[in-house]
């Protein structure tokens, strides 16, 4: 399936280190009789629970999916599952894993040596990388080009410098599990993440929010784009009934 | 995919009311280069987390899967998912749903009228349907043919009789959500159940156990048979390292 | 702590079989400096995560709790825990256990013989026990006194009759796990239920809803009353920001 | 309740930055009639589910708790809950949060500035801090005093140096959520963690294991000591039936 390089899509994350790769879905995105197999599964699951007239009466499956989401009948959405392969900096991974419902397999810095890949913000990102005043947890205030460049240089130098120390410690015989503790949280990790559509919607609602960190929003937007081709009716219902704030 | 009528397979559950139908899997059961896609996903997920030498060194994927399960590295197994459509009596459903990790969509007796389908034990089942003495929670003691027949007759009469009362209450205008309370727990319900391979193994370990009720074991055995064609290497590892007690 | 007999409180559930008993809370309901210990825990947990100025600046803890819930910062509410002992008919238990986040220990009909206790609707309940037309899943339509009495008589007779058959089967030597399948779902079971405040709010939001079955709403209302003395500020915030529909 | 400074207990973690503080338990550790309230809750919960003779027959509550754990009747243990306040380096926090069942409230580096506290291994730790050969994921091989001192110096210098850069970025107006990405994973974070006894046992089984990283084992051992005074019978059963490997 498709692997989306967030950098190429947005020109901001700096290179191909960051990606969201939709590895698999259950069911598939194939269209049959005006609906994808994945969207149809939602209807099938709903028809098991509300086997009565009401559901049968709704001939329009798109409307039924909207009805379900609007009325918080969320369990049918749990039968659609996705597996993603994601490469992301540790500070983003730490926000992501707060969503406890998924299954994660993350690269281990105890088993193997981490690669020399760090997330470095671009100039475009840094120009709006000042501390926000109202939103204590965010950025958004404008920085001068000089300060932005200074920050980029510092982050880059720090990344290069600590990676050298990491390698020196390993060469001296220090265990990987100890040496890695000097690495900063903008180093890249990667994982397999499997989740269901309802929990994915919950993730998207929080991580597309303007209060979410800009970097995690890039991932959330890539996921939204990829998932929208699998369950287009469900994601339209999501836009209508769950996600109503602007995302930037 | 396949729908297994437990009755046809075992000649015991009495008719076609009871079934386990494997609706979907992620990934598929297709074989490629000596391994199914579903078994290979376990290896792929493990390779993300332990990206180092060790895993690469194990050329034999079957052995790697056994190594993972033996050492309780269970997270790679969570990326394989299954959806089942199951028809089962309420008293079994109540045991099943104690496994909280799955996604369930069950037929609602508030939305619709339940069908006139009841689980009636066969003579073969009832001949061993006496109260076990040592195992307080089970059956297994032998009953005379006379007592067994008496029990079958009583359960059948009770099922027929209460269904008539259920219908009479509905015809009098009583709400479905109230009328259904007279129905006994051997009436059939049905659901969609989606779970992952690791939680499925946990379900099987408990529900294949000799202490589990005989009826739920028939379902567990049908699931075991169906899943074994999807992830044959994983289920062989399960038999070796998780499930070692005899199942009957 | 307090045990609330739903029957005594409402005069409807018929007798003392139904109860909600708040067994324990963490922290306690004791007041200290204008706030209960349990409400204060929410603030303490929030102060760990947003250790910065913002939280310190809010001197009014009641307002902070409202701010947290309004902005869906729900994790601090998970540190408040409750254990309930509940006696309830099986058809209600089956709705309740759909909330997968709690810990349940339910009476087993395999280990022991169930008591001769059944839920019988009162006349007041049955007069509004007709099948609702608009809300397919509910009751609410009026029944004549004659039909209501007929329904009560039928449910009572059925309960008495099947319990006799249950006992006869047990006396004939049939295993408890088999004999119990004739028992209807208005027989009483009981369980210990431990959950956290955020998941409890989710339970209450759904089970206080007018679309929930009348019987489960009586339980939800009893829980709401009991919890309100433990975390009065949090439940006020719940009423403002989570639960805004009328409950009957 | 007690706050245990891991450093003081073991002389290894270097200072008072690291602690495990048992904030609250449900029920309490008070003794009544030969058993703590918390241990007794396990028995009470079990008595609800297996209301029959068997449990009543076991007069010795300590033996009943062992029987339950030995036979994997784990649900009664879920009704005992603990809240901990823990201060720990980020690389340990990332291992810990893999246990998805708890409730976490972690200090946010977006809301506030992180304190100048880093985990620095002691000489005793570093002398065994070489890369293990057999156990790819661990340490344990001996290092010379010279190499150990070199590693300690490097880790210390790196911690001091990056914290200076972190502060310089903040002073230049860079947002906290960006500046923090240069900080290494041996910087301290803190959280509230609430979990139940059964999931705590699962945590301890994995994190007391010799394959677990030495640093997280210090936390697990502190938790084991603290919990053992609350549920002494349960932890004795844990030692007998769940945890049988040596922990170092």
* Model confidence pLDDT, tens digit, residues A99-137: 989 999 999 999 999 999 999 999 999 999 999 988 888
| Among A37, A32, A1, A36, residue whose Cα is nearest residue A19 | A1
User: What residue spans of chain B are helical by DSSP H?
Assistant: 6-10, 37-49, 53-57, 61-70, 90-96, 123-126, 145-171, 176-179, 197-207, 214-228, 232-241
> What's the pLDDT tens digit per position in B4-41?
555 433 333 445 678 999 999 999 999 999 999 999 99
Residue D247 lies inside a defined structural domain of this protein: no
Inter-chain residue contact C79 with D105, CB threshold 8 Å: yes
**CA B220-B224-B227 angle, 5° bins:** 130
Q: Cα D74 to chain center, whole Å?
A: 21
Of C52, C72, C136, the CB nearest to A52: C136
pLDDT in tens, C105-128: 999 999 999 999 999 999 999 999
Q: Closest partner residue to B48 among A54, A76, A107, by Cβ? A: A107
Residue A228 CA, chain-centre distance (Å), reads: 14
Shortest CA gap A193–chain D (Å): 13
B105 touches chain C (CB under 8 A): no
Q: Rounded to whole angstroms, how far apart are CA atoms C158 and C150?
A: 12
Taking the C-alpha atoms of residue C10 and residue C209, their distance in angstroms, rounded to an integer, is: 18
Q: Is B76 within the bounds of a domain? A: yes
Put simply, the chain D residues between 117 and 146 with a CB less than 8 A from any chain A CB are 119, 121, 126, 129-132, 136-141, 143
- For residue C73, the chain A residue with the least C-alpha distance is A206
Same domain, D66 and D111: yes
Q: What percent of chain C has pLDDT over 90?
A: 78
Chain B nearest CA to D137, separation (Å): 9
**8 A C-beta contact, residue D4 and residue D16:** no
pLDDT on residue C113: 93
First to last CA, chain A: 28
Which one of C74, C136, C202, C205 makes the best mutation probe of the A interface by having the most chain A beta carbons within 10 Å?
A: C136
> Does residue A110 form part of some domain?
yes
Contact of A84 with A223, CB cutoff 8 Å: yes
C-alpha span between A114 and A172 (Å, rounded) = 17
DSSP-derived 3-state class of residue D226: helix
Q: Count chain C–chain D contacts defined by CB atoms under 8 A.
A: 104
Shared domain for D152 and D52, answered yes or no, is no
A248 is a domain residue: no
The alpha-carbon gap from D56 to the nearest alpha carbon of chain B, in Å, equals 13
Nearest CA of chain D to the CA of A246: how many Å? 21
Would you place residue C134 in the very low, low, confident or very high pLDDT band (cuts 50, 70, 90)?
confident
Establish whether the linkage from the previous residue to A27 is cis, with ω within 30° of 0: yes
- Choose the closest CB to C177 out of B150, B184, B213: B213
Query: Which site among A94, A136, A209, A244 would you substitute to test the C interface, given the most C Cβ atoms closer than 10 Å to its Cβ?
Result: A136
pLDDT at residue C56 is higher than 80: no
- Chain A residues within 8 A of D93 when measuring between CB atoms: 94
Q: In this complex, is the C-beta atom of B14 within 8 Å of any C-beta atom belonging to chain C?
A: no
Taking 70 as the pLDDT cut, the residues of chain B under it are 1-16, 51-59, 245-248
Task: Please name the chains neighbouring B, where neighbouring means 3+ C-beta pairs under 8 angstroms.
Answer: A, C, D
Q: What is the CA radius of gyration of chain B?
A: 21
Nearest chain A CA: its distance from B71 CA (Å):
15
Chain C residues whose CB is inside 8 A of the D44 CB are 192
DSSP characters for D12-46?
-S-STT-EEEEEEEES---EETTEEHHHHHHHHHH
Residues A109 and A128 both lie in one domain = no
- Chain A, 210 to 239: residues with Cβ < 8 Å from chain C are none
Nearest to D181 among A91, A100, A175 (CB): A91
CB-based contact D158:D185 (threshold 8 Å) = no
CA distance A193 to chain C (A): 21
Report, as ranges of residue numbers, the positions in chain D whose pLDDT lies below 70.
1-16, 51-59, 244-248
Q: CA B32, B34, B39 angle in degrees (round to 5)?
A: 75
Q: What is the largest CA-CA distance in chain D?
A: 72
Residue C179 lies in a domain: no
Assign A7 a pLDDT band (cuts: 50, 70, 90). very low
Which residues are registered as beta bridge partners of B87?
B19, B190
Would an 8 Å CB–CB cutoff place A177 in contact with chain B?
no
B174 contacts C143? CB cut-off 8 A: yes
Alpha-carbon distance of B205 to B74, in angstroms, equals: 14
List the subunits that have 3+ CB pairs under 8 angstroms with A: B, C, D
From the list B106, B241, B124, the residue with the least C-alpha distance to B187 is B106
Q: How far is D202 from chain C (nearest CA, A)?
A: 16
Residues of B with catalytic roles: 207
What are residue D65's phi and psi, to 5 degrees? -60, -40
- What is the reported pLDDT for D87? 92
Q: Nearest Cα to D186, choosing from D99, D85, D98, D87? A: D87
* Separation in Å, CA D57 to CA B168, C109, D47: 46, 18, 11
**Which phi and psi (to 5°) does residue D192 adopt?**
-90, 135
Same domain for B39 and B137, yes or no, is no
Angle at B202 between CA C200 and CA D236, to 5 degrees: 75
Q: How far, in Å, CA of A215 to CA of A92, rounded? A: 7
Is the pLDDT at C3 greater than 90? The verdict is no
Of B185, B208, B223, which one is at a domain's C-terminal end?
B185
Neighbour subunits, D (≥3 Cβ pairs < 8 A): A, B, C
D78 shares contact with chain C (CB less than 8 Å)? yes
**Residue C66 — pLDDT band, cuts 50, 70, 90?**
very high
Burial tier of D134 (Cβ tally within 10 Å: 0-12, 13-18, 19+): exposed
Within an 8 Å CB–CB cutoff, is residue C177 touching chain A? Answer: no
The span from the first CA to the last CA of chain D, in angstroms, equals: 28
CB contact under 8 A, A151 and D89: no
Beta partners for B187?
B118
**Residue in C with minimal Cα distance to B122:** C178
Identify whether D36 is part of a domain: yes
Helix A214-228 vs helix A232-241: crossing angle, to nearest 10: 130
What's residue B6's pLDDT? Answer: 52
- The DSSP string of A65-123 is HHHHHHTT--GGGGG-EEEEEEEEEHHHHHHHTT-TTSEEEEPPTTTSPPPS-B----H
Chain D residues close to B137, C-beta within 8 Å? 50
Sign of CA dihedral D104, D108, D110, D116: negative
Among the partner residues D76, D79, D105, nearest to C49 by beta-carbon distance? D105
Contact residues, chain B, for C101 at CB < 8 Å: 100
**Which tens digit of pLDDT belongs to each residue from A19-76?**
999 999 999 999 999 999 999 999 999 999 876 545 555 568 999 999 999 988 999 9
The answer to the question of residue A226 being in a domain is yes
Specify if C131 maps to a domain: no
Q: Is C111 on the interface with B (CB under 8 A)?
A: yes
Query: What sign results for the dihedral spanned by CA atoms B127, B131, B132, B135?
Result: positive
Answer yes or no: do A153 and A114 share one domain.
Answer: no
Which residues on D lie below 8 Å from B206 (Cβ)?
A: 72
Task: Specify whether A164 is located in the same domain as A200.
Answer: no
The complex's ipTM?
Answer: 0.91
- How many domains, chain C? 1
Which chain A positions have a beta carbon within 8 Å of B79's beta carbon?
A: 83, 103, 105, 192, 194
Residue A111: its chain B contacts at CB < 8 A?
A: 49-52, 54
With CA atoms as reference, the chain B residue closest to D99 would be B75
User: For C11, left (φ over 0), alpha (ψ -120 to 50), or beta?
Assistant: left
Q: Which residue of C has its CA nearest to B160?
A: C182
D53 in contact with B at a CB cutoff of 8 Å?
yes
Cβ contact C68:D216 at 8 Å: no
> Is C59 in the A-facing interface, judged by CB distances under 8 Å?
no
CATH code of the domain in which D234 resides: 3.30.1360.170
- Taking alpha carbons only, the member of A96, A143, A140, A88 closest to residue A118 is A88
- Chain B CB contacts of D52 under 8 Å are 136
Nearest to D148 by CA among D131, D126, D132, D130: D126
Query: Residues of B with CB below 8 A from D206's CB?
Result: 72
The pLDDT assigned to B146 comes to: 97
Global pTM exceeds 0.90: yes
Contact B192 A52 (CB under 8 A): no
The DSSP 8-state label assigned to residue C15 in this structure reads S
Q: Degrees (nearest 5) of the Cα angle A76, A80, A83? A: 150
Structural domain harbouring B91: 3-119+186-241
Q: C245 CB near a chain A CB, below 8 Å?
A: no
Selected residue with higher pLDDT from D28 and C58:
D28
Question: Is B79 close to A192, i.e. CB distance below 8 A?
Answer: yes
Residue C109 near residue C44 (C-beta atoms within 8 A): no
Together in a domain, B53 and B145: no
Residue A15 confidence (pLDDT): 55
D164 and D192 housed in the same domain: no
B245 Cβ under 8 Å from any chain D Cβ: no
Residue C11's pLDDT is what? 33
Q: How far is Cα A43 from Cα A40, in angstroms, rounded to an integer?
A: 5
Q: Evaluate whether C91 touches C18 at the Cβ level (below 8 Å).
A: no
Are D159 and D57 part of one and the same domain? Answer: no
Check whether residue D109 and residue D126 sit in a common domain. Answer: no
D95 and D174 share one domain = no
Say if residue C14's pLDDT is above 50. no
Closest CA to C224 of C213, C236, C212: C236
Is D194:C27 a contact under the CB 8 Å cutoff? no
B168 and B81 both lie in a single domain = no
- Residue C26 binned pLDDT confidence (cut-offs 50, 70, 90): very high
User: D43 CA to chain A: closest CA distance, Å?
Assistant: 30
Would you state the pLDDT for residue A9?
A: 34
With CA atoms as reference, the chain C residue closest to B162 would be C158
Q: Is C9 exposed, middle or buried (0-12, 13-18, 19+ CB in 10 A)?
A: middle
- CB–CB of D181/A119 below 8 Å? yes
Contacts of A196 (CB under 8 A, 6+ apart): A77, A78, A79, A80, A81, A82, A101, B103, B194
Chain D CB within 8 Å of residue A58 CB: no
């Amino acid at each position: 399936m498709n692997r989306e390089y967030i950098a190429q899509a947005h020109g901001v994350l700096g290179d191909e280190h960051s990606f969201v790769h939709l590895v698999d879905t259950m069911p598939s995105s194939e269209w049959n009789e005006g609906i994808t197999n994945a969207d149809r599964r939602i209807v099938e699951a709903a028809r098991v629970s509300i086997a009565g007239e009401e559901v049968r009466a709704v001939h329009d499956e798109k409307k039924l999916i909207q009805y379900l989401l609007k009325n918080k009948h969320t369990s049918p959405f749990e039968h659609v599952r996705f597996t993603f392969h994601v490469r992301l900096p540790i500070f983003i991974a730490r926000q992501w894993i707060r969503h406890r419902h998924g299954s994660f397999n993350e690269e281990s810095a105890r088993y193997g040596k981490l690669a020399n890949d760090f997330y470095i913000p671009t100039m475009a990102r840094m120009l709006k990388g000042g501390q926000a005043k109202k939103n204590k947890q965010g950025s958004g205030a404008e920085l001068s080009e000089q300060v932005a460049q200074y920050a980029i240089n510092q982050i880059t130098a720090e990344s290069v410098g600590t990676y050298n120390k990491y390698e020196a410690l390993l060469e001296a015989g220090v265990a990987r599990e100890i040496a890695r503790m000097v690495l900063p949280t903008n180093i890249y990790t990667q994982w397999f993440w499997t989740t269901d559509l309802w929990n994915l919607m919950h993730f998207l609602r929080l991580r597309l929010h303007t209060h979410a960190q800009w970097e995690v929003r890039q991932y959330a937007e890539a996921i939204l784009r990829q998932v929208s081709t699998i369950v287009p009716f469900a994601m339209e219902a999501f836009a209508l009934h769950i996600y109503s704030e602007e995302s930037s």
